[in-house]
Amino acid sequence: MEPIITLPNYINGQWSTSTAAQHLAVINPATGELIAKVPLSSAAEVNEAIQVAAEAFTTWRRTPATERVQYLFKLKNLLEENFQDLASTITQECGKTLAESKGEMRRAIENVEIACGIPMMMQGTNLEDIARGIDEIMIRQPLGVCAVICPFNFPGMIPFWFLPYALACGNTYIVKPSEKVPLTMQKIFQLIEKTGLPKGVVNLVNGAKEAVDAILDHPQIRAISFVGSTPVAKYIYSRGAANGKRLQCQGGAKNPIIVLPDADMTMTTRIAADSAFGCAGQRCLAASIAVTVGEARNTFTEAMAEIATKRIVGNGLDLNVEMGPVISTESQARIENLIQKGVDEGANLLVDGRKPQISGYENGYFVRPTILQDVNPSGKIAKTEIFGPVLSLMHVNTIDEAIALVNSGQYGNMACLFTNSGAAARKFRYEAEAGNIGINIGVAAPMAFFPFSGWKDSFFGDLHGQGNHAVEFFTQTKVVVERWPSDWSRTF
Ligand code: NAD
């Protein structure tokens, strides 16, 4: 057995042992085994990282964008070469299946590829002769030191919604991974080190609340990207804004799908199950509520119960496994309590996934796919983000009622419709109050050249991660108006 390591930080181009007083255990959720210890770095350590990033900024911003992206080209190749290892690290610390981890890393790499186009994307605009002999131009400049605070459920992909764009735009950067899954970023920073990026340009600080608060309060932090639960997103948004920072805070979700009677039921149930149970339901775009309309109810319900019961649950490293564990024993208990709450509120527990026995993995944190039927739309189970493999079924008689139900939710991350009607699809796309919409498809994280949207309590800010929004977020515009003497024949 390999020795348990205490994870270092990466500050100013060097790996350094944290002086943290407290460490947390990093556990493989499929086996319950301790795999590393993560330091809860102090504010002083965060401040040191910000200081070196601020010093590095003065040179990095002057490095031509075409030169800056050369490091990203190198990183892309290193990520490809280490693809399998990174995917299996994600599975070991996060629990998802190897196929899901590979999908995650693929999307991370796509973000690096898109950010390599920054020399084009960062271009400004200009207009000659806004008045006779006067020109006006708008240029984009980097902000300075920026930071990302990450959740546990996509340890490889989520930092890449921001990091490559921040660097390519000329900013310097601090990454604070989730303390539950810090290993993937350790490996990625070992690759970042190999790219030869100048020291201080990108730094890794492990930690939790103290580290986050230090980022929020430091005067040299210009912009913060956050992804995590809604209460923490609100906290980061308000404290960061009070300190004058630019913010984009992606929060939690409670995603509904609507199934109309004319939908292709075989395809719909397969997609709905993947959406609800993929990554053990620990995706901010996972389906959590399915609203059947009219005659869709019986066929959809029966097929979903069958798929949920048959899903193969186990260690994500086993290639035949279709769903891994949830992240922690606390999460497992929270999900099981919410299932019981649904029953107490009057729902019918159609498929009960609590306390499964997974042979060989008795210490893992497993919850099998669970389906609650006839869930009360105003009850706690219908309103609370479960973040586990639990689907709540509701039933209405018209598409208008279904859309009203969708739009009554607190969150607005994702909503889907399954139908064969173009008119119904258009109505839904137009009226649904969510930032990511699926029509006859579950919503995966958008391709890297689209911003990752999110409405209502799923997002706080203006500009989203990825694509053009990332370029806007990581740059500030400057408008220059110029007039020069028109005496061209002048001699000196
Ligand atoms: P979390 O909010 O518990 O933690 C996220 C980050 O915030 C971590 O780095 C953590 O250290 C930090 N943090 C936690 N509590 C804090 C506090 N009180 N003060 C300062 N910092 C704090 O989220 P999680 O459990 O890691 O991730 C799951 C959540 O993330 C779910 O709600 C999910 O919907 C959401 N999520 C949203 C998106 C999206 O794009 N909208 C994507 C992925 C995950």
* Residue 383 located in a structural domain: yes
Measured by CA distance, the residue closest to atom 22 of ligand 1 is 209
CB 413 near ligand 1, within 6 Å:
yes
| 151 CA → ligand 1 middle, Å | 4
* Residue 486 located in a structural domain: no
**In a shared domain, residues 430 and 475:** no
| 178 CA → ligand 1 middle, Å | 8
CB 211 near ligand 1, within 6 Å:
no
pLDDT at 4: 85
CB 41 near ligand 1, within 6 Å:
no
Contact 215, 149 (CB under 8 A): yes
CB 18 near ligand 1, within 6 Å:
no
Q: What is the pTM of this model?
A: 0.97
159 — phi, psi (to 5°)?
A: -60, -25
**Residue 131 lies in domain:** 5-251+458-479
Give the number of other CB atoms < 10 A from CB of residue 418.
Answer: 30
Residues 328-387: tens digit of each pLDDT: 999 999 999 999 999 999 999 999 999 999 999 999 999 999 999 999 999 999 999 999
* Residue 344 located in a structural domain: yes
Contact 38, 24 (CB under 8 A): yes
Q: In angstroms, rounded to a whole number, what is the distance separating the alpha carbons of residues 58 and 47? A: 17
**In a shared domain, residues 84 and 186:** yes
**In a shared domain, residues 226 and 118:** yes
Give strand pairing partners of 483.
134
Sign, CA torsion 84/88/89/94: positive
Q: In angstroms, rounded to a whole number, what is the distance separating the alpha carbons of residues 205 and 43? A: 10
**In a shared domain, residues 175 and 263:** no
pLDDT at 485: 78
pLDDT at 491: 64
CB 240 near ligand 1, within 6 Å:
no
**In a shared domain, residues 384 and 425:** yes
**In a shared domain, residues 281 and 375:** yes
CB 316 near ligand 1, within 6 Å:
no
**In a shared domain, residues 398 and 259:** yes
* Residue 448 located in a structural domain: no
Instruction: Name the residue of 38, 107, 175, 212 whose CB sits within 8 Å of the most ligand 1 atoms, as the mutation to test its pocket.
Output: 212
**In a shared domain, residues 109 and 77:** yes
Contact 433, 407 (CB under 8 A): yes
CB 332 near ligand 1, within 6 Å:
no
Instruction: Name the residue of 40, 232, 327, 387 whose CB sits within 8 Å of the most ligand 1 atoms, as the mutation to test its pocket.
Output: 232
**CB-based contacts of 400, cutoff 8 Å, min separation 6:** none
* Residue 490 located in a structural domain: no
**In a shared domain, residues 213 and 359:** no
| 6 CA → ligand 1 middle, Å | 23
* Residue 164 located in a structural domain: yes
Q: In angstroms, rounded to a whole number, what is the distance separating the alpha carbons of residues 482 and 12? A: 40
Q: In angstroms, rounded to a whole number, what is the distance separating the alpha carbons of residues 252 and 260? A: 26
CB 281 near ligand 1, within 6 Å:
no
| 117 CA → ligand 1 middle, Å | 30
Tokens coding 330: 């606390």
Tokens coding 78: 């290193």
For the chain, the three-class secondary structure string (H helix, E strand, C coil) is CCCCEECCEEECCEEECCCCCCEEEEEECCCCEEEEEEECCCHHHHHHHHHHHHHHHHHHCCCCHHHHHHHHHHHHHHHHHCHHHHHHHHHHHHCCCHHHHHHHHHHHHHHHHHHCCHHHHCCCEEEEEEECCEEEEEEEEECCEEEEECCCCCCCCHHHHCHHHHHHCCCEEEEECCCCCCHHHHHHHHHHHHCCCCCCCEEECCCCHHHHHHHHHCCCEEEEEEECCHHHHHHHHHHHHHCCCEEEEECCCCEEEEECCCCCHHHHHHHHHHHHHHHHHCCCCCEEEEEEECCHHHHHHHHHHHHHHHCCECCCCCCCCCECCCCCHHHHHHHHHHHHHHHHCCCEEEECCCCCCCCCCCCCCCCCCEEEECCCCCCHHHHCCCCCCEEEEEEECCHHHHHHHHHCCCEECEEEEECCCHHHHHHHHHHCCCCEEEECCCCCCCCCCCCECCEECCEEECCCECHHHHHHHCEEEEEEEEECCCCCCCCC
Measured by CA distance, the residue closest to atom 39 of ligand 1 is 250
CB 461 near ligand 1, within 6 Å:
no
**In a shared domain, residues 113 and 228:** yes
Q: In angstroms, rounded to a whole number, what is the distance separating the alpha carbons of residues 87 and 93? A: 10
Residue carrying the six token digits 């009677």: 261
**In a shared domain, residues 211 and 311:** no
**In a shared domain, residues 77 and 36:** yes
Task: Give the CATH number, domain containing residue 275.
Answer: 3.40.309.10
**Catalytic residue ranges:** 284
425 — phi, psi (to 5°)?
A: -65, -40
Task: Give the CATH number, domain containing residue 214.
Answer: 3.40.605.10
| 399 CA → ligand 1 middle, Å | 33
* Residue 296 located in a structural domain: yes
**Of all atoms in ligand 1, which is nearest to the CA of residue 231?**
2
| 127 CA → ligand 1 middle, Å | 44
CB 275 near ligand 1, within 6 Å:
no
- pLDDT tens across the length of the chain (492 residues): 567 899 999 999 999 999 999 999 999 999 999 999 999 999 999 999 999 999 999 999 999 999 999 999 999 999 999 999 999 999 999 999 999 999 999 999 999 999 999 999 999 999 999 999 999 999 999 999 999 999 999 999 999 999 999 999 999 999 999 999 999 999 999 999 999 999 999 999 999 999 999 999 999 999 999 999 999 999 999 999 999 999 999 999 999 999 999 999 999 999 999 999 999 999 999 999 999 999 999 999 999 999 999 999 999 999 999 999 999 999 999 999 999 999 999 999 999 999 999 999 999 999 999 999 999 999 999 999 999 999 999 999 999 999 999 999 999 999 999 999 999 999 999 999 999 999 999 999 999 999 999 999 999 999 999 999 999 999 999 999 999 877 666 666
Tokens coding 20: 């943290």
If one counts the domains in the chain, the total is 2
Instruction: Name the residue of 40, 111, 152 whose CB sits within 8 Å of the most ligand 1 atoms, as the mutation to test its pocket.
Output: 152
* Residue 37 located in a structural domain: yes
Q: Inter-axis angle of helices 265-277 and 296-310, to 10 degrees?
A: 50
| 150 CA → ligand 1 middle, Å | 7
pLDDT at 329: 98
